[in-house]
Amino acid sequence: MINTQDYIIVVPKNTGLKKYREIGLSFISDTSNLLEVRGEDVPFWVKQLKEKGKKAIGLTGRDLYKEYCLENRETSLKVLKTIPWKDSSAMFNKPTLCLLGPINKDIKTINKTLTVCIASKYQKIAKKYLNFLERQGFSFKKMYANGSIEATYEQGLSDLVIDIVYTGSTMTKNGLKVYDKILESDFLIIGEK
């Protein structure tokens, strides 16, 4: 149990994180002072509250925390507790950031000059991953969107997609398959070092 007397507990309001939000709150002693924000904003809020002299901890996904850490290399945040994400209805048993491409090809047979649509909240993780592929001879035009990422492929706007895969139904519906798993996500409780 994490002692949170007089703490502000920053929690995600995202629907997809509700179940794990409740599990995370079960590890916290005092949940009387909750602040709801988007999951990707939780680390920002925890850090800003701390800078204003307030005690705060946050609950968010590992993917969102990793993105924050890549953008804020000098972060004073740390993981206080990892809550393993286990969901048999998820393709990989947890949310997984993936590189998606056409069903009838793979990373070895696709053109090396490509347009990739990236979920906006994963720009830093995607950049790091795509840099790895660029060292293997690929060249990417990057575009970013906040929703309907997979549809950019179906509509001919992109050749590849980087987005979270959960059940895989949207991916399949849009004629895509997983080319590579970039990051598997669990649920975290984060706070100051």
Total tally of structural domains belonging to the chain:
2
Q: Are residues 152 and 76 in the same domain?
A: no
| 141 token code pair | 């035009």
Q: Are residues 80 and 103 in the same domain?
A: no
pLDDT at 53: 93
Q: In 3D, which of 94, 92, 64 has the Cα closest to residue 79?
A: 64
Mean pLDDT (whole number) for 27-55: 93
Global pTM reads 0.90
Strands ordered across the beta sheet of 34-37: 34-37, 8-12, 56-61, 187-192, 77-83
Task: List the domain range (segments joined by +) for residue 54.
Answer: 8-86+186-192
CATH number of the CATH domain containing 116: 3.40.190.10
Mean pLDDT score across all residues of the chain:
93
User: CA end-to-end span of the chain, whole Å?
Assistant: 18
Question: Cα-Cα-Cα-Cα dihedral of 89, 91, 95, 100, to 10°?
Answer: -150
pLDDT tens track for 149-189: 999 999 999 999 999 999 999 999 999 999 999 999 999 99
Residue 13 lies in a domain: yes
The 10 Å Cβ neighbour count of residue 148 is 13
pLDDT at 158: 96
Q: Are residues 54 and 76 in the same domain?
A: yes
Q: Are residues 66 and 121 in the same domain?
A: no
Q: Are residues 58 and 138 in the same domain?
A: no
